Structure 1
Amino acid sequence: MTTAKSGDRRAPGRPRSRAAEEAILKAALALFLDHGVEGASIERIAKRAGVGKTTIYRRWSSKEELLAQAIGRVREDAERDMGVTDFRDFAELPLGPTLHRMMEAGAELMASDDNRKLLARLIGSVQSHPRLLAIYWETYLRPRREAFGVMLDQAKMRGELSASADTAMLQDMMGGAMLHRLLIDPAPPTAEDLRAYLARLLQQLGLTEAKG
């Protein structure tokens, strides 16, 4: 009985905490998109989210940790929309068709103005705020890169990639090509443009079944 009553007393506080956290993450992302790291101060985030600064500091030790989670949340939501919860779940599936399905599902989001703006803001902070990218790398990018590497290694074992393929370099090439098309090319891609570009990219990397 004591445990149940204790749980009952705590229960009302949990939804409010979740609501506050969501408001903080939403505010942090919006300010980062509009003003960059410099304009996304803890004070401004707290004001926009309608919370006190102490509420933020109870959850995150720094602005960079907060922004990294806010950016990561966008990626996690996008992955769920693409049907991805863990790249390792796809390790036993044919690589080309699997990447093609993910590409089809994610092209519209990747080509969106908000996504391109988010990428530009993140890359633009590398020199001025290196800790932000360091946290984002360790928390979000590196685990996904390692899981994606497992997919590529399994594809090599199945003969879908050359036995001599450098899977780390393949990931760099894919990431670099994507950044070029999304940020460097002066013509913003539509979702259809990006689907066609990604299909060509996968074929050039030796994934001849990319359209299968």
Structure 2
Amino acid sequence: MTIDPEASPPRPPGRPRSREADEAILGAALDLLIERGMGATSIEQIARRAGVTRATVYRRFPNLTDLLVRAIEWEYQNTQPEALSWPDVPAMIRDWAGQLSVPRSRRLIRRLYGTVDDLPELLRAYDTAHGSHRGRAVRSTLEQARTTGQLPPHTDPETLQLILSGAALQHLAAYPDTTEPKDIEAYFLAVLRQVGFPAASPSPSRRSTQR
């Protein structure tokens, strides 16, 4: 019988893990999720892709769900708060366009939403690690745009955020992953124009009437 050196003997409590092995496993899990989807991803495949044994994976993660949740958290761990702060709506849209022009990012979001029924933990992990922070930043930017007059005064930032989120999901579903950033930016600006962005400045005669 061949003894797996990775599986025996167990490491003493408190011994530090190998960061390289951790990152290899998390990266492999994320890549397989993107490439094949949840249904075609397994611990065995992840271990093979990461170049470790199954015992090494199970020592760190008790099951596939926990591993994939941790992989999502790991993917977004380096997002800095300032990266989710935009001076105005055009800057926010340019940032969105840049991110949505990356094929890997597009495929990952589609995979996450595809697991909403079978493994909702993944979408919750994304929301906790990134989505909720991004949502607050978007609302703040839209509120500022309403205050400064870029958006009409009757604009509801929360509703507009939902409209933009829906537009983003529609783009992920209906447009090719090779779409250029400038075309994605134009797409979102076309949506915003439907709600009055940028708000038209009052004419001189109208301003004088309002005084």
- What's the % identity of the aligned pairs? 35
**Contact 1:33 1:121 survives alignment (8 Å):** yes
Counterpart among 111, 117, 126 of residue 127 in structure 1: 117
Counterpart among 98, 120, 133 of residue 91 in structure 2: 98
Counterpart among 138, 143, 161 of residue 133 in structure 2: 143
CA RMSD of the aligned region, Å? 3.1
How far residue 19 of structure 1 moved from its aligned partner, in angstroms, is 1.9
The question of 1:17 aligning with 2:29 is answered no
Report the AA paired with residue 190 of structure 1: T
How far residue 146 of structure 1 moved from its aligned partner, in angstroms, is 1.8
**Contact 2:151 2:198 survives alignment (8 Å):** no
Q: Please, what TM-score do these two structures have when normalized by structure 1?
A: 0.69
Instruction: Extract unaligned runs of 5+ from structure 2.
Output: 1-14, 200-211
- Shift in CA distance, 48/194, structure 1 to aligned 2, threshold 3 Å: same
Number of residue-to-residue matches in the alignment:
184
Structure 2 partner of 1:38:
39
The question of 1:190 aligning with 2:179 is answered yes
Q: Distance in 2 between matches of 1:189 and 1:204?
A: 26
Higher relative contact order (CA 8 A, sep 6+): 1
Q: Please, what TM-score do these two structures have when normalized by structure 2?
A: 0.69
Structure 2 partner of 1:10:
none
Report the AA paired with residue 183 of structure 2: D
Report the AA paired with residue 65 of structure 2: E
The question of 1:48 aligning with 2:49 is answered yes
SS state of the match for residue 34, structure 1?
Answer: helix
Runs of 4+ more than 6 Å apart:
none
Residue-by-residue CA offset, 1:132-168 (whole Å, 9 max, x unaligned):
2122222321122123222222333333333332212
Counterpart among 148, 162, 165 of residue 155 in structure 2: 165
Counterpart among 107, 121, 129 of residue 117 in structure 1: 107
Flag the structure with higher helix content: 1
**Contact 2:21 2:52 survives alignment (8 Å):** yes
**Contact 1:37 1:125 survives alignment (8 Å):** yes
